[in-house]
Structure 1
């Protein structure tokens, strides 16, 4: 077993319930961790035998480009795509963070973290 992490994927997107968020958008950070059996690719050194982090990054960016009211919804879509498209993933955790959220306070970010197992 092993883990692959993508840290601090930065995206500008238009999620949120406020009209302004849909027009102006906000900056987001996504962190992703997947678990899979990495013993084979650790020996073979073949990309075809592992979980391709380029594919994971593409899933995150594509799902982040689709507007949602809630971060929970975006995170669930990311997890669904990972399990639909990458059979070798046994479990995954995704954190979607809105940076400088419009919540009437000095808050660096707000995050939603979802995890799932196959």
Structure 2
């Protein structure tokens, strides 16, 4: 089974629990892995035989810029649902969302949420 990965898509969004997060926003980074039988389905060097990276990016971009959640867990679940519906040819999708500006004490790079879902033919 092949995998199409798009890594480190970055978006400025207005998600968060605290009012300043929702007002000022913050950068999120998103990785998406779409499991797709590339070995079987891509036979003619034709974009119609695969999943367009540009379409995946546009779908995520449109969603994160028109929806806002307190929890990035909720954002991850809803983006995953949207991708599974929009790209039914993907057998499985894994989505990671990283949030860098987390208002909590400590030294760390980011907080990351990972969700996965499957399409059943």
TM-score range, shorter chain: over 0.9
Aligned to 1:23: 23
TM (norm. structure 1) is 0.93
Aligned to 2:82: 81
TM (norm. structure 2) is 0.91
Q: Deviations over 1:62-117 (max 9, x none)?
A: 22221111111111111111111112110010001101311122221001100111
Q: Secondary structure at the match of 2:27?
A: strand
Query: Which runs of structure 2 are paired with 1:1-118 in the superposition (5 Å)?
Result: 1-39=1-39, 40-41=41-42, 43-65=43-65, 66-118=67-119
Q: Deviations over 1:22-48 (max 9, x none)?
A: 11111111011010111222x210001
Structure richer in strand, relative to its length: 1
Q: Provide structure 2 residue ranges, at least 5 long, that are not aligned to the other structure.
A: none
Q: Provide structure 1 residue ranges, at least 5 long, that are not aligned to the other structure.
A: none
Counterparts of 1:32 and 1:79, CA distance in 2:
9
